[in-house]
Amino acid sequence: MRVWIVFLLCLAGHAMAAPAEEVTPVEDLAMVEEEVVVEEEPVVEEGIVEEPEVGANPVQIEVGDFDEAIEVVEDVAAENVCLNHHCKKGKVCEVDESNTPMCVCQDPSTCPVAEGEFEHVCGTDNKTYDTSCHFFATKCTLEGTKKGHKLHLDYIGSCKYIEPCMDSELNEFPLRMRDWLKNVLVTLYERDEDNNLLTEKQKLRVKKIYENEKRLQAGDHSLDLLAHDFEKNYNMYIFPVHWQFGQLDQHPVDGYLTHTELSPLRAPLIPMEHCTTRFFEECDADSDKYISLEEWASCFGIKDQDVDKDLII
């Protein structure tokens, strides 16, 4: 989780920024992204992965006198089998008559009220939901229906008009994306004092990039400069592209990215980069609803001979 928090902090202020007229700033991404990251666990349904299971649901305990609070909490915790029963996002744990835990859809009306517009999310139904809790609870109630099958979290923030992505703009997207990924890794390397952000193997690879005097420093660079740097310092971009794939391929780790695995990256990016959706759709070259490592690398201009599964570990 700590990696993703730093990851999204970098997103707001580093090299993914396009020219000012093309980018819409997004505030508090670190807060909303932490919700997105835990949203998905694989339940394969016609090529689409459902959201993941998360931690145990909180249990609220009403007690009378303060002096009795500790004793009552211990008794309830010992009897409440839901404390260790995990339900996926949008569901809560309840017990039946035999005290057997089961997951049922959460009533959207029981979700906490949004504290601000930054908690709003937009669904693929082009409807704004107050919070991700409201979204996933609503999605759960639609399970088994055609509408529920097609409903996914689209992006962070209230629904708005997203301009169509022109061909010329689509070609520009990977230029900024590659540079951004490289700078995210460099930032993680600089902040990795406790070895919790990168593995030792990853740190060695990023160190070579970090110490390279030819490295293009983070900044608002022209597209021509980004294209020239990719051609001149191509080797610096190979690992960042592989690393991002490995960060997303988590539910499960199978060498393919699904719609829901892409959400932690897509959801915060769409409001800022209107070509995001089209870019990832076209990365799926064979239209099988999965993006393989080879397809992913190709989208970012990595040559076939440089695709290496060992780099995503």
Average pLDDT along the chain, 313 residues, taken 10 residues at a time: 46 44 38 40 45 36 33 51 89 90 94 91 95 95 91 93 94 95 95 84 95 95 96 97 96 91 91 93 95 97 96 88
Q: Are residues 67 and 75 in contact, defined by beta-carbon separation less than 8 angstroms?
A: no
User: Given this model, what pLDDT does residue 313 score?
Assistant: 81
User: Given this model, what pLDDT does residue 249 score?
Assistant: 96
Specify the domain boundaries for CATH 3.30.60.30 within the chain.
91-156
Instruction: Starting at the earlier edge strand, list the strands of the sheet with 153-156.
Output: 128-129, 121-123, 153-156
User: Given this model, what pLDDT does residue 6 score?
Assistant: 47
Best CA proximity match to 111, nearest among 2, 8, 35, 5: 35
Q: Does domain 91-156 have CATH number 3.20.20.70?
A: no
Cα–Cα distances in angstroms (integers) from residue 34 to residues 26, 29, 156, 249, 276, in the given order: 15, 8, 12, 17, 20
Compute how many other C-beta atoms are within 10 angstroms of the C-beta atom of residue 176.
Answer: 22
CA–CA dist 180, 15 (Å, integer): 5
CA 265 to chain centre: 4
Pick the CATH number of 167-311 from 3.40.640.10, 1.20.120.1200, 3.10.450.30, 1.10.238.10: 1.10.238.10
DSSP H helices, the chain, are 2-13, 29-37, 69-79, 132-141, 146-150, 167-191, 200-210, 223-232, 235-248, 259-269, 276-283, 293-299
* Residue showing tokens 């404390």: 83
**Torsional sign, CA 62, 58, 121, 50:** negative
User: Given this model, what pLDDT does residue 33 score?
Assistant: 39
Q: pTM here?
A: 0.68
Best CA proximity match to 311, nearest among 297, 290, 291, 295: 297
Report the length, in residues, of the chain.
Answer: 313
